[in-house]
């Protein structure tokens, strides 16, 4: 409460000063909108070994958006050794009203496996200095955090999940977010809650999100009769993501991409076109065909030891009596053919983890196959209605969770925790005999 009051008081003081200055200089009334950076989120510009991207918001336009980056040292004189990188600004209209400015700086030419500090601003008003670590340019062990749907409870019970995950794995190199970040993707008030929940973690650990169905919700007064396969403009305002998706789906940037990180290929897929029926059919069919062709190439031309797919709707549902046979036929066949190791999903508002499966059937631990998981981090819970007998090794209802995945040369280890930090599931995946 005290913190909130202080912020409000500061904003009012700024507005008053601007009005006073304006009156004295016969300048048209100013809004008092702030140039202070908010919502600082790390993403990607290119190779994670040599680049990093960062996005942030200001309420007011800024003339010279920029970032400064320096090798991490204990001296406070960071600006002396920092390199300044010009950023790019975009004006974003908000729902239900208002205009803000999002900025993206692409930090390139960085050293692999190196800790940096950075700040963002306009050359006068700056953020604090935040840290990140670049990836090694070789396969090497690392950990990452995976969360399922936040969606609800963003301002009350979700923040503790993020803090618990970060406390459990402060060395996590990225956060994989399996979609439905918000209940209504168009609503900036919910983005405010989501970014507050992440706090400095979003500026310290890069985010790899995929859109869920809620992330593509239209505003209530939208004239679209059918669903439109596109995220809200707020998605790409907040996230800087790889731009290596299907070449003919350029308008859907930020919805399909892959990232190679220290021996893992993360393939991030918007599977809404495979799961929902009420799109314009021609668009849906076109997107499906493009994604399948692109996915085949991303799986076939993959030099990494491990392959992890991130998607929202699960191939094997456990709740709400949902079933996506079209998605299983199109995507599951490719996961089987190319030995995808792990598929990280959400949507069912429960926790489920399969045995290693091939063509939908359980296989031995040393045989080629895929483990499918779904999880939930927010407050909405569904009852499990489909046990997937013979497929699921673990099902849990009614708790918020986060997962820590440890990548090593010979195995993937997954530890699933309740939001109270109790470990509720733990398993390992070894490379199958005869596979890469
Ligand atoms: Fe969902």
| Torsion of Cα atoms, 91 then 92 then 98 then 103, to 10° | -60
Check pLDDT > 60 for residue 12. Answer: no
Expressed in angstroms and rounded, the spacing between residue 267 Cα and the centre of ligand 1 is 19
Expressed in angstroms and rounded, the spacing between residue 49 Cα and the centre of ligand 1 is 32
Expressed in angstroms and rounded, the spacing between residue 243 Cα and the centre of ligand 1 is 24
pLDDT at residue number 66: 98
Residues 349 and 224: their CA atoms lie apart, in Å, by 28
Report the pLDDT averaged over residues 120-135: 98
Expressed in angstroms and rounded, the spacing between residue 321 Cα and the centre of ligand 1 is 13
Report the pLDDT averaged over residues 47-60: 98
Q: Are 145 and 403 in contact (CB under 8 A)?
A: yes
Question: CB-based contacts of 229: which residues, under 8 Å, 6+ apart?
Answer: 216, 252, 255, 270, 272, 273, 279, 283, 284, 287
**What is the reported pTM?**
0.91
Expressed in angstroms and rounded, the spacing between residue 59 Cα and the centre of ligand 1 is 30
Expressed in angstroms and rounded, the spacing between residue 374 Cα and the centre of ligand 1 is 11
Residues 159 and 168: their CA atoms lie apart, in Å, by 14
Expressed in angstroms and rounded, the spacing between residue 316 Cα and the centre of ligand 1 is 14
Question: CB-based contacts of 238: which residues, under 8 Å, 6+ apart?
Answer: 39, 41, 55, 102, 191, 195
Check pLDDT > 70 for residue 7. Answer: no
Query: In the chain, pLDDT over 90 holds for what percent of residues?
Result: 82
Strand pairing report for 306-310 and 342-345: parallel
Q: Are 386 and 397 in contact (CB under 8 A)?
A: no
User: What is the DSSP secondary structure assignment for residue 155, as one 8-state letter?
Assistant: T
Expressed in angstroms and rounded, the spacing between residue 312 Cα and the centre of ligand 1 is 7
Check pLDDT > 70 for residue 2. Answer: no
- From residue 81, alpha-carbon distances to 66, 78, 119 in Å are 16, 6, 13
Q: Which single residue is written with the structure tokens 């300048």?
A: 27
């Amino acid at each position: 409460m005290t913190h909130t009051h202080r912020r409000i008081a500061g904003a009012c003081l700024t507005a008053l000063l601007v009005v006073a200055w304006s009156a004295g200089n016969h300048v048209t009334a100013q809004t008092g909108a702030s140039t202070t950076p908010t919502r600082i989120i790390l993403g990607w510009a290119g190779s994670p070994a040599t680049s990093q991207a960062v996005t942030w918001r200001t309420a007011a336009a800024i003339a010279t958006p920029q970032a400064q980056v320096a090798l991490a040292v204990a001296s406070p004189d960071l600006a002396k050794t920092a390199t300044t990188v010009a950023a790019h600004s975009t004006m974003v209209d908000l729902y239900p009203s208002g205009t803000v400015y999002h900025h993206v700086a692409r930090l390139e030419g960085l050293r692999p496996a190196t800790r940096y500090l950075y700040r963002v601003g306009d050359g006068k008003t700056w953020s604090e200095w935040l840290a990140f670590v670049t990836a090694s340019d070789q396969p090497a062990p690392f950990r990452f955090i995976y969360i399922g749907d936040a969606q609800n409870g963003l301002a009350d019970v979700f923040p503790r999940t993020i803090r618990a995950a970060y406390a459990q794995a402060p060395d996590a190199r990225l956060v994989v977010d399996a979609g439905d970040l918000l209940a209504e993707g168009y609503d900036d008030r919910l983005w405010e809650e989501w970014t507050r929940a992440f706090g400095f973690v979003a500026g310290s650990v890069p985010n790899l999100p995929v859109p869920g169905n809620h992330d593509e919700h239209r505003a209530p007064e939208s004239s679209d009769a059918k669903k439109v396969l596109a995220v809200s403009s707020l998605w790409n305002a907040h996230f800087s993501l790889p731009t290596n998706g299907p070449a003919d789906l350029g308008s859907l940037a930020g919805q399909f991409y892959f990232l190679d990180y220290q021996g893992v290929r993360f393939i991030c897929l918007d599977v809404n076109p495979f799961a929902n029926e009420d799109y314009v059919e021609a668009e849906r069919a076109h997107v499906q065909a493009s994604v399948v062709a692109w996915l085949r190439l991303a799986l076939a031309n993959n030099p990494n030891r491990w392959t992890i797919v991130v998607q929202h709707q699960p191939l094997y549902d456990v709740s709400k009596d949902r079933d996506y046979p079209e998605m299983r036929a199109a995507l599951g066949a490719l996961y089987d053919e190319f030995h995808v190791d792990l598929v990280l999903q959400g949507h069912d508002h429960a926790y489920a983890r399969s045995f290693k499966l091939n063509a939908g059937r359980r296989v031995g631990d040393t045989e080629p196959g895929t483990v499918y998981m779904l999880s939930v981090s927010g407050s909405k819970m569904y009852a499990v209605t489909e046990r997937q007998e013979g497929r699921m090794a673990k099902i849990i209802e009614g708790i918020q969770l986060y997962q820590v995945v440890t990548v090593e040369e010979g195995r993937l280890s997954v530890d699933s925790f309740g939001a109270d930090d109790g470990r509720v599931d733990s398993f390992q995946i070894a490379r199958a005999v005869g596979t890469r």
